[in-house]
């Protein structure tokens, strides 16, 4: 039975699941359906009545003081695997259509280098400024953690805040707590216009 989390909640991952080393982090979202057909909304939304918004999930692998040590410690659609092999991205989903996870990231906690203290899971809108898009046009956003060995969902966090005008979401983070790993439901929206801007804020 999955635990449904509220914003700001922190819960342990490994302490109550002895032997757990691999986790699947699923992120999902849906474009908001438009009500109008013509005018501004008609041009913004495609013929199917939903906006064509390309959201991208990324992982920032942070060292001490929550700082990025190297640019290749960012795992995203352009760099699908961390250099140590501990974090692997499923690849880019361009539309967010359909049920379930839109993008998945598998983390092998046993392979995460000791110098990495925190993994931050971020979703941003590709080319948001040029396309005049923001997370007010997205609904049903969530982050969940499952055990890939049993396919059992462990944690689920629905991002229900009003993110209108925001172009980047920090969905959640996994961090070391002594010898164990914990998950924090963050759910913060920012105005970072691109992944590189997010990266700079952690550099």
pLDDT at position 52? 80
Read off the tokens for 151.
Answer: 């396919």
Read off the tokens for 127.
Answer: 């080319």
| Of 113, 112, 150, residue with least CA distance to 17 | 150
pLDDT at position 53? 85
Cα–Cα distance list, 167 to 65, 125, 135, 184 (Å) = 25, 6, 6, 21
**Whole-angstrom distance, CA of residue 22 vs CA of residue 13:** 11
Cα radius of gyration rounded to whole Å, the chain: 17
For residue 38, the enclosing domain spans: 3-201
Q: Give the CATH number, domain containing residue 132.
A: 2.60.60.30
User: How many structural domains comprise the chain?
Assistant: 1
The answer to whether the CB of 60 falls within 8 A of the CB of 112 is no
pLDDT at position 95? 56
pLDDT at position 49? 52
Q: Considering the entire predicted model, what is its pTM?
A: 0.89
Q: What is the pLDDT of residues 44-64, one digit of tens each?
A: 444 445 568 889 999 999 998
| Of 128, 140, 130, residue with least CA distance to 96 | 140
**Whole-angstrom distance, CA of residue 201 vs CA of residue 67:** 9
Given a cut of 60, whether residue 191 has pLDDT beyond it is yes
Given a cut of 50, whether residue 42 has pLDDT beyond it is no
**Residue 36 or residue 176, greater confidence:** 176
pLDDT band, residue 38 (cuts 50/70/90): very low
Mean pLDDT of 60-78: 94
pLDDT at position 97? 57
What's the whole-number average pLDDT of the chain? 89
Q: What is the pLDDT of residues 100-135, one digit of tens each?
A: 899 999 999 999 999 999 999 999 999 999 999 999
**What is the number of alpha carbons within 13 Å of residue 4 lying toward its C-beta?**
3
**Residue 32 or residue 68, greater confidence:** 68
**Whole-angstrom distance, CA of residue 32 vs CA of residue 135:** 10
Q: What is the pLDDT of residues 178-190, one digit of tens each?
A: 999 999 999 999 9
| Of 159, 100, 99, 104, residue with least CA distance to 135 | 159
């Amino acid at each position: 039975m999955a635990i449904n989390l509220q914003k700001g909640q922190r819960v342990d991952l490994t302490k109550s699941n002895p032997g757990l080393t691999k986790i699947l982090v699923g992120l999902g979202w849906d474009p908001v359906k438009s009500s109008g057909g013509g005018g501004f909304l008609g041009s913004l939304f495609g013929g199917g009545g939903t906006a064509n918004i390309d959201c991208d999930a990324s992982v920032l692998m942070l060292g001490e003081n929550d700082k990025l040590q190297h640019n290749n410690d960012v795992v995203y659609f352009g760099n699908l695997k961390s250099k140590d092999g501990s974090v692997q991205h499923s690849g880019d989903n361009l539309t967010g259509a359909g049920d379930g996870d839109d993008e998945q990231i598998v983390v092998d906690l046993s392979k995460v280098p000791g110098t990495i203290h925190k993994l931050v899971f971020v979703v941003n809108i590709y080319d948001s400024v040029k396309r005049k898009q923001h997370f007010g046009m997205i609904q049903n956003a969530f982050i969940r953690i499952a055990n890939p060995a049993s396919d059992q969902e462990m944690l689920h966090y629905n991002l229900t805040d009003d993110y209108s005008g925001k172009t980047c979401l920090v969905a959640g983070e996994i961090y070391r707590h002594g010898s164990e790993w914990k998950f924090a439901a963050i759910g913060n929206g920012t105005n970072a216009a691109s992944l590189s801007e997010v990266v700079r804020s952690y550099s």
